[in-house]
C-alpha cells in the first residue's frame, strides 16, 4: 500500500519538512519519495536532507550517495539501477568496456558513471563543456544518454555495434522522445532502448525493489 501527498504548489517549506518528519517517525512507512523538482520557494536540498536515510528509497540523501561512492550501499538511485539491470539482463559485460555517460546530473549522470565503474567499466562523463562530443561518444562500447536534449545522439556519434541506453525524456510536437535519434541509431547499435518503454518502467521497478529492501532491513533491525 502507498500513500500520496499531493500538496498545493504554495505549500511552505516548513510545512513540507514537518510532513517528512512525521513520515520518518511512522513505523508503517518503509520508503519516502519526494517528487522533484520542488517549487522554487522550497530548498530541495534541505528537504532531501530531512528524509531518514533508511527510508530514502530514491537514494538521494548524502549518506546514501556516499555509500554508493564506496560501493557499500543499501539503495541505488532508481534510474541508474534500472540501466544496470537492463545491461545485466541483456547479458552485456561491462568490465573492460569503454563506457560514456552523456550528462552529469546528481540524479542520473553521476551515479550512473559510478555504477559502471563499480562493474569495472572505463568511464567517461560528458557534459555541456565537453569538447568533441561526437568523437568521445564514438569511442563508447556502452553509451548512456541522460542529458535531456531531444535526439542529441545521432547515428554518426555511435560506434557500430555499441550498446545505447536512452534515459532522456523529452516532448516534441506532443510526442515523447529520448536523447537518442532512435530510428537512425537503431541501424548502427547492437542494442538500444526505446523512449517511452525502455528505462522508464525499469525505474519504477527499482523503486519497488528499494522499498522492499528498506522494509526488510528495518524488520531485521527490529
CB atoms within 10 A of CB 206: 25
pLDDT at 218: 84
Answer whether residue 222 shows pLDDT above 90. no
Using a 10 angstrom Cβ sphere, with 0-12 exposed, 13-18 middle and 19 or more buried, the burial of residue 163 is buried
Grid cell, residue 23, equals 513520515
Answer whether residue 1 shows pLDDT above 90. no
174-205 confidence digits (pLDDT tens)? 899 999 999 999 999 999 999 999 999 999 99
46-66 confidence digits (pLDDT tens)? 999 999 999 999 999 999 999
CATH of domain 78-200: 3.40.50.720
CATH of domain 1-62: 3.40.50.10860
Distance from chain centroid for Cα 38: 18
Torsion, CA 159, CA 160, CA 163, CA 164, rounded to 10: 60
Banded pLDDT at 99 (limits 50, 70, 90): very high
Q: Which helix (H) or strand (E) holds 37?
A: none
CB atoms within 10 A of CB 29: 18
Which residues neighbour 118 within 8 Å (Cβ) at sequence distance 6 or greater?
71
Do 1-62 and 78-200 agree at the fold level?
yes
Query: Where are the chain's structural domains?
Result: 1-62, 78-200
Q: Which helix (H) or strand (E) holds 138?
A: none
Q: What's the chain's average pLDDT?
A: 96
Answer whether residue 120 shows pLDDT above 90. yes
Cα atoms found within 13 Å of the Cα of residue 17, Cβ hemisphere only: 11
Using a 10 angstrom Cβ sphere, with 0-12 exposed, 13-18 middle and 19 or more buried, the burial of residue 6 is exposed
Mean pLDDT score, 84-96: 97
Banded pLDDT at 221 (limits 50, 70, 90): confident
130-185 confidence digits (pLDDT tens)? 999 999 999 999 999 999 999 999 999 999 999 999 999 999 998 999 999 999 99
Answer whether residue 111 shows pLDDT above 90. yes
Cβ–Cβ < 8 Å for 67, 53: no
pLDDT at 136: 98
**Please, which residues bridge with residue 102 across strands?**
126, 145
Pairing mode, strands 122-126 and 142-145: unpaired
Q: Which residue has the cell 537512425?
A: 184
| 3-class state of residue 83 by DSSP | helix
pLDDT at 220: 86
> Model-level pTM?
0.93
Grid cell, residue 4, equals 500520496
What is the C-alpha separation between 30 and 191, in angstroms, rounded? Answer: 36
Query: Count H helices, E strands: the chain?
Result: 8, 7
pLDDT at 112: 98
Amino acid at each position: 500500500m502507498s500513500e500520496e501527498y499531493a500538496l498545493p504548489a504554495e505549500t511552505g517549506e516548513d510545512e513540507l519538512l514537518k510532513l517528512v518528519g512525521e513520515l520518518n517517525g511512522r513505523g508503517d512507512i518503509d520508503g519516502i519519495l519526494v517528487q522533484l523538482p520542488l517549487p522554487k520557494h522550497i530548498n530541495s536540498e534541505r528537504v532531501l536532507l530531512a528524509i531518514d536515510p533508511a527510508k530514502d528509497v530514491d537514494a538521494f540523501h548524502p549518506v546514501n550517495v556516499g555509500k554508493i561512492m564506496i560501493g557499500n550501499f543499501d539503495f541505488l538511485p532508481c534510474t541508474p539501477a534500472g540501466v544496470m539491470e537492463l545491461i545485466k539482463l541483456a547479458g552485456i559485460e561491462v568490465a573492460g568496456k569503454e563506457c560514456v555517460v552523456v550528462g552529469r546530473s546528481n540524479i542520473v549522470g553521476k551515479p550512473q558513471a559510478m555504477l559502471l565503474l563499480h562493474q569495472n567499466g572505463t568511464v567517461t562523463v560528458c557534459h555541456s563543456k565537453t569538447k568533441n562530443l561526437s568523437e568521445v561518444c564514438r569511442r563508447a562500447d556502452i553509451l548512456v544518454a541522460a542529458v535531456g536534449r531531444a535526439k542529441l545522439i545521432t547515428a554518426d556519434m555511435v560506434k557500430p555495434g555499441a550498446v545505447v541506453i536512452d534515459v532522456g525524456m523529452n516532448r516534441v510536437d506532443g510526442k515523447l522522445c529520448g536523447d537518442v535519434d532512435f530510428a537512425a541509431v537503431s541501424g548502427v547499435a547492437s542494442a538500444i532502448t526505446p523512449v517511452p518503454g525502455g528505462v522508464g518502467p525499469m525505474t519504477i521497478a527499482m523503486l519497488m525493489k528499494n522499498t522492499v529492501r528498506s522494509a526488510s532491513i528495518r524488520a531485521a533491525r527490529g
